[in-house]
Amino acid sequence: MKRYLTARMLGIHVLALLAIVACLALSRWQWSRAHFQTSISATTSGDFSTLSPRGDYLPLSSVGAHTTVHGTWSPSGRFLVTQRPTSGSSLINPNPGVHTVVEWAVPIGAWVGDVLNLEDGSALGVVRGWSDNPQSFPTAQGMATVTGVLQSSEDADYVALVSVPELLTTNLVLAHSAVSVHDGYLVSSQDTRGLTEVIPIYASVPHMSVHWRNVIYTVNWIFFALLIMAMWIRVVRDSVKDANAS
């Protein structure tokens, strides 16, 4: 028994146990990531600063939440997202992972957006409405209070849309802003004269199935733990055998 508890062997035991524990901890973390989005509880409404932390990604739980923002319209903050219907929900791809092209049987125009400079020095992209002649609609000016629905940047990994010529992303909004912007954008639910109200893509948290890539990583880390255990046993046996032979 003493041969298994020498200083060298104790070092081997400690290193092996630490490596196995680390692998199992990483496996557990990957498993939680695989189910992360299926366990999110939606937030229906709240304070904007809580729903959309400055300098961070829009939390998944905030997608579809109603909120109100206050600020001043940026005079050079106009952005357009063309070739879109008024209903954002019709852009959701029913077969995620499959390239889907839709021939619209409804009027197609542009989502008209402006950048709202907020009181804390940041900015937020606001989709104010839809128009089939967006060039005729003036850029927003002055101070405003806007109520609407938060949406994630359309290049987020959990957003699955049908084929569209361009995405409304945080980077698109940032290109029209002189200051840092909040992730995602807000779809105004207020009536704006000259524009048709846009129905948000997501009225609540997007439903996501299990992330199989993370499941594979989970299995990989368990395999590594078993491999380390086998190596540990082999090293101990060989060390004891060598000690007995000497």
- Please compute the mean of the pLDDT values over residues 174-198 and round it to a whole number: 95
Model pLDDT for residues 138-149, shown as the tens digit of each residue: 988 999 999 999
Q: Are strands 181-188 and 123-131 parallel, antiparallel or unpaired?
A: parallel
What's the pLDDT at 39?
Answer: 44
Gap between the terminal Cα atoms of the chain: 17
Averaged pLDDT of the chain: 87
The DSSP code sequence of 16-55 is HHHHHHHHHHHHHHHHHHHTTGGGPPP--B--HHHHS-TT
Model pLDDT for residues 53-76, shown as the tens digit of each residue: 998 898 888 999 999 999 999 999
| Domains of the chain by residue range | 2-35+210-245, 42-188
What's the pLDDT at 42?
Answer: 55
Contact call for residues 65 and 43 (beta carbons, < 8 A): yes
With 0-12 CB in 10 A as exposed, 13-18 as middle and 19+ as buried, what is 23?
buried
Q: Are strands 79-84 and 109-118 parallel, antiparallel or unpaired?
A: antiparallel
What's the pLDDT at 115?
Answer: 97
Distant-in-sequence, close-in-space partners of 78: CB < 8 Å, separation ≥ 6: 112, 113, 114, 115, 139, 140, 176
pTM, two decimals, is 0.70
- Please compute the mean of the pLDDT values over residues 165-175 and round it to a whole number: 95
Distant-in-sequence, close-in-space partners of 204: CB < 8 Å, separation ≥ 6: 42, 63, 64
Q: Please choose, from the candidates 244, 233, 221, the residue with its C-alpha nearest in 3D space to the C-alpha of residue 13.
A: 233
Distant-in-sequence, close-in-space partners of 195: CB < 8 Å, separation ≥ 6: 112, 128, 129, 130, 131, 137
CA atoms of 187 and 165, how far apart (whole Å): 20
- Give the model's confidence band at 36: pLDDT under 50 very low, under 70 low, under 90 confident, else very high: low
What's the pLDDT at 40?
Answer: 45
With 0-12 CB in 10 A as exposed, 13-18 as middle and 19+ as buried, what is 64?
buried
Q: What is the Cβ-side half-sphere exposure of residue 222, based on CA atoms within 13 angstroms?
A: 10
Portion of the chain with pLDDT greater than 70, in percent: 89
What's the pLDDT at 205?
Answer: 74
Percentages helix, strand, coil for the chain (3-state, rounded to 5) are 35, 25, 40
